Amino acid sequence: MQQFCILLLLLGFALPTPAESLRDGDLVFQDSQSSQSQAIQLATQSPYCHVGMVLHRNGEPWVIEAVQPVIETRLAEWTRRAPGGRYAVRRLERAGEVLTPGGAGKLRKEAHRYLGRDYDWAFGWSDERIYCSELIWKIYERALDIRLCEPARLGSFDLSHPAVRAKLQERYGNQVPLEEPVVAPSQLFASKLLVEVTPD
């Protein structure tokens, strides 16, 4: 079994973490086959295009995520959307001291403020509409004063691929807001404040 797991990791597959190993505040990442997801993956050079945050309800893990609109989804349902059910998990390195019941409660309270908010197809930085990685970044920053990464400029990503250019043209026409602050799933995944969570 150990050799099989090592082989999967070498091939680039994320091994699902058992649900019972997940904690409130864990970030879960997945990919998708949609054209938007492909553009995000190409622009950010990351296998992951979507991120949510785990919050338990009556002992069961749910994922708060910005789709249309911001909702809470049972983890079991959330993982079924990912190809092969594969997903990756990152956890705050200081989770033991920060994500106490009180800290987790602050995350939950802040997260619930966004429920029902429309998805932001234009990836703007206002709170009127919101996209997945922006949601997670703002929950952590506003609930716990933790900036998981520094926002980047939209123009700092690799926008050269035809699929990326086509999606930008579809969303913005000829007025691409290259200076707009953006937080991508790849930035959260690479955050130095987070550590990898692997199967027990």
Is CATH 3.30.1370.60 correct for 15-194?
Answer: no
72 neighbors 117 (Cβ within 8 angstroms): no
Say which range, 35-49, 63-77, 95-109, 162-176, has the weakest mean pLDDT. Answer: 35-49
Residues pairing with 69 in the sheet: none
Q: Where are the domains of the chain?
A: 15-194
Q: CA geometry: angle at 165 spanning 155 and 123, to 5°? A: 55
As a whole number, the mean pLDDT across the chain is 86
Take residue 185 and report the two structure tokens written for it.
Answer: 């799933």
SS (H, E, C) the chain: CHHHHHHHHHCCCCCCCCHHHCCCCCEEEECCCCHHHHHHHHHHCCCCCEEEEEEEECCEEEEEEECCCEEEEEHHHHHHCCHHHCCEEEEECCHHHHCCHHHHHHHHHHHHCCCCCCECCCCCCCCCCECHHHHHHHHHHHHHCCCCCCCEEHHHCCCCCHHHHHHHHHHHCCCCCCCCEECCHHHHHCCCCEEEECCC
**pLDDT tens digits for range 10-21:** 434 444 455 668
User: Residue 171 phi/psi, 5° resolution?
Assistant: -85, -40
What pTM was computed for the model?
Answer: 0.86
Category of 59 on φ-ψ map: left (φ > 0), alpha (ψ -120 to 50) or beta: left
pLDDT tens sequence across 27-58: 999 987 676 777 888 788 888 889 999 999 99
Residues 6+ apart with CB under 8 A from 36: 49, 167
pLDDT top residue among 151 and 7: 151
Six token digits for residue 194: 């987070």
